[in-house]
Each structure stands twice: as C-alpha cells, then as structure tokens.
Amino acid sequence: MASQVLRTLAEVKAWAADLRRAGHRLALVPTMGFLHEGHLSLMREGRKRADVVATSIFVNPAQFGPKEDLSRYPRDLEGDLSKCASAGVDVVFVPEAGAMYPPGYETYVEVTEVSKGLCGDRRPGHFRGVATIVTQLLSLFRPDVALFGEKDYQQLQVIKALNRDLHLGVEILGMPTVRELDGLAMSSRNAYLSAEERKRALALSIGLGTAQSLYRSGSTEASALIEAVRRELRAADLREDYVELVDAERLTPLSSVQPGQPARLLVAAFCGTTRLIDNQPIGG
C-alpha cells in the first residue's frame, strides 16, 4: 500500500495528535531521501518496534556549508516513495524548506561537546544544522523511538545528546551500518562515484577491517590502528580528511584501547571530489 504523504506542519501535528490519542506507538526515521538499503533497514526495524512508522524526506539546507553539495545532492522523490511503501512506512513527511525555516526563523540547536573534532571541525555548522532539524522533527512527531544509522556515528552521538539535554524523551536507536557485498558503507553520496572511484572507495572499509584484525591480534596503540587505515587510503590514492581513534561515547581522542573500553575508529576521505565516511567499533 502507498504511504500517506504529508507536506505541511499542520498536517503532521494533526496526524501525530490523532495517533497519540488512539494510543499508537510511533517510530520515526528522518532522512534526506535518495533512499538505500541502509535507510530501509531503519524503517523495517521501526516496524518491529512500533505499530506506526513515519519517515521524513528533507534535504536540510542548514546542515550544508557554503561550499558543499546542497544543490547537487541526489534526489528521487518518486523512487523514494515507492521504497517507503515497500518497507511498510505509513506516513512520509516531505516539507518545503520554507516550512521548516520560514521567514523570521531564529532558533538553532548547538550540541557543544560531541560536535567537536572529526566531522564537526571539518564541516563548521554542520551539526548545528543537523541538531536543529532533528529537534524540529522530534518535537513535531513526538515519536516513541527514532532510528539513525551508525555510519554517521558522530551525528548519532549529537542526536543522543540533544534528546537527553532537551528532555525530549525519545528512544534514540543507532543501527549498524549496512554495507554493499564488497564492504562499502551504503551512502546516498556513493551515487557521485565513477566506476573507477567506486573501486578505490573500498579502501575505507578495508582499512577499518585491517585495523580491527590488528586489534584482535593484540595491537592496541592508536598510532598502529590509524596507520593501518592510512596505508589503505594511500594505496588507493584517497585524500585523508581524518583517521581517529576515539572514546565511543564522548568522541574524545584515545592514544590506545584499554581493556573493556568501547572505542571507535573513524575515517573520512576524499575519493575524487566525493567525501566519504566510515567507522568501526574497536574493543569494548
């Protein structure tokens, strides 16, 4: 069955209020569209955890820097709506930018600590834009649970922090990265890669896998784990943006992995002009 499409804030508010009155449990999957298996896995998980699933498709201008790819960001609303229907999504919210940021809009959400470092340093203002739109969506829908992919690992920590600090009371669920058969993390931005770049892009997941094996064979120093990823990036001629080992919750840099300490190895690199990210848990 086709998903119901809502386009205005008034429609969402009325729909969500009816749902709450009827005592339903709601799962929300916010997206920027151009949906892939990663998004669909979030929607299917949402179905298991709630009796109603909503998704939003909104390419949020506030999270793109002036030199970033807002106008080129891939879009396919028709394809997305049929994917939502096949994943059992009940409602898809597709707002205009002017609905989320009308004239006179002046409220932005800043998560100060976990937004630091990693993508936060390389993409100034990005997490402020993400935190602002996610806060708007959680406030509008008031879902019981909201699902996000772990591929955007820092984003997930930012969203957990704003949900905690602003007392939104939503269960924020991070789901494992969905990968292509060869290991490449699924991302809407993979659509930018040429066939040759697509092969080189594998260096991110291969590097993380090599670091994971090194850790399992007893190597706990950040420098060795990071170098394993860097070696792959160099061999594939990718330009590193960062490779860092951090505490899995606070995202502060670690010099080594201590027994029982959850750590995360994160990488961002340019493949041609396309910036790709990936990450992997280490230890814990």
Catalytic residues: 39
| Ordered alpha helix ranges (H), the chain | 9-21, 37-49, 77-86, 97-100, 118-122, 126-141, 153-165, 195-200, 203-216, 222-235
| Calpha distance 276→107 (Å, rounded) | 30
Q: Is 264 exposed, middle or buried (0-12, 13-18, 19+ CB in 10 A)?
A: buried
133 contacts ligand PAF (rule: CB under 6 A): yes
Q: Which is nearer to ligand PAF, 109 or 226 (CB)?
A: 109
Stretch that binds ligand PAF, among 30-38, 109-117, 190-198, 206-214 (CB under 6 A): 30-38
Amino acid in the structure at residue 283: G
Report the residue from 15, 16, 31, 197 that binds ligand PAF according to the rule CB under 6 A.
31
Stretch that binds ligand PAF, among 41-49, 127-135, 211-219, 250-258 (CB under 6 A): 127-135
| Calpha distance 76→28 (Å, rounded) | 20
CB of 221 to ligand PAF, least distance (A): 32
Which residues make beta-bridge pairs with 185?
A: 179
Report the residue from 134, 193, 201, 254 that binds ligand PAF according to the rule CB under 6 A.
134
Q: Which is nearer to ligand PAF, 189 or 199 (CB)?
A: 189
Residue pair 266/242 in contact by the 8 Å Cβ criterion: yes
Q: Which is nearer to ligand PAF, 52 or 277 (CB)?
A: 277
In this structure, the number of other CB atoms found within 10 A of the CB of residue 223 comes to 11
Q: Which is nearer to ligand PAF, 40 or 257 (CB)?
A: 40
130 contacts ligand PAF (rule: CB under 6 A): yes
Q: Going by DSSP bridges, is the β-strand pair 171-175/145-149 parallel, antiparallel, or unpaired? A: parallel
228 contacts ligand PAF (rule: CB under 6 A): no
32 contacts ligand PAF (rule: CB under 6 A): yes
111 contacts ligand PAF (rule: CB under 6 A): no
60 contacts ligand PAF (rule: CB under 6 A): yes
Report the residue from 12, 30, 119, 170 that binds ligand PAF according to the rule CB under 6 A.
30
CB of 13 to ligand PAF, least distance (A): 20
Chain center to CA of 244: 18
**Which residues contribute to the site for ligand PAF (CB under 6 A)?**
30-32, 60, 63, 130, 133-134, 152, 155
